[in-house]
Homo-oligomer: A and B are copies of this chain.
């Protein structure tokens, strides 16, 4: 696949902490700023749009590619999460990435951790409620990546809105010396949010999948008309898709509580045969309870 024809470019692939430290030290000594795009690989245009943002704001762009075992539950898709470093390297190079950091699990987790990070109440809703420990694992790897890469800015997509809210809290609560940048969700022409997991959709499911976005737009209208968004969306999705609704929730953003004022998020997850898809919409709202 040759998705992004921007002309190839030299790209350094680093797999050890030692080599990464040396690169970071040299880069800092040169006074170059660093943008970090953390990914689990199997890149799509969503990731590439984050690289574009990072290129515009930083002298050097590092993309991490690491399928982080700490954020997968025992019955989740860690083993069969799609991986293709060669394909990813070409796409990342074409987009202008300077360094791919692709460590092994042993390199990232040489021993059991003593100290634990936990996402607390922000993880009690949406995906966090359905995937116990998931966001603690995200916090762990993101904290390690921030310390290893020492970026000036780090880029996360809004498709994972809860992840974004939790990482923004992490940075604020612990004064990490970097800025978090939000990338808008990149979509297929029919509205389906780009995701590495879309490859697991059957042909029929792929045709149904744009209804997730349509349900969110319907829900937004319902909220703004003081109607029950969750009820309308549930009825709509039960009619239109074969997958099972995992959750549909309306919350405040980024606080993720039920005191919905200012910004609201409507988010949903649908479990198809082999792929669990998520999507969300964030929009301003008058105060409601």
Instruction: Name the interface size band of chain A.
Output: 20 to 34
Mark interface residues in A204-226 (1 if CB within 8 Å of B CB, else 0): 00000000000000000000000
Taking the complex as formed, is A117 at the interface, i.e. its CB lies under 8 A from any CB of chain B?
yes
Which of B21, B115, B140 is A120 in contact with, Cβ under 8 Å?
B115
A and B contact pairs by CB, cutoff 8 A, 6 listed: A21-B177, A115-B174, A117-B117, A144-B175, A148-B175, A150-B177
Stretch at the interface among A60-68, A76-84, A165-173: A165-173
Quick check: A175 and B115 within 8 Å, CB to CB?
A: no
Taking the complex as formed, is A192 at the interface, i.e. its CB lies under 8 A from any CB of chain B?
no
Quick check: A113 and B173 within 8 Å, CB to CB?
A: yes
In the complex, the count of this chain's copies comes to 2
**Interchain nearest-CB distance for A218 vs B (Å):** 31
Which of B117, B143, B148, B175 is A116 in contact with, Cβ under 8 Å?
B117
How far apart are the CA atoms of A118 and B139 in the complex, in Å?
Answer: 13
Taking the complex as formed, is A245 at the interface, i.e. its CB lies under 8 A from any CB of chain B?
no
Chain B residues lying within 8 Å of A239, measured Cβ to Cβ, are: none
Quick check: A173 and B121 within 8 Å, CB to CB?
A: no
- By secondary structure, the A interface counts as helix
Chain B residues lying within 8 Å of A174, measured Cβ to Cβ, are: 115, 117, 140, 143-144, 147
In chain B, what residue has the closest Cβ to A148? B175
**Interchain nearest-CB distance for A285 vs B (Å):** 22
* Apart from the given pairs A29-B31, A147-B177, 15 other A-B contacts in the complex at a CB distance below 8 Å: A17-B175, A24-B177, A113-B120, A113-B173, A114-B120, A114-B166, A114-B173, A115-B117, A115-B119, A115-B139, A115-B173, A116-B117, A144-B175, A147-B175, A150-B177
In chain B, what residue has the closest Cβ to A176? B147
Task: Give the interface centre of A24, A117, A175 by most chain B CB atoms within 10 Å.
Answer: A175
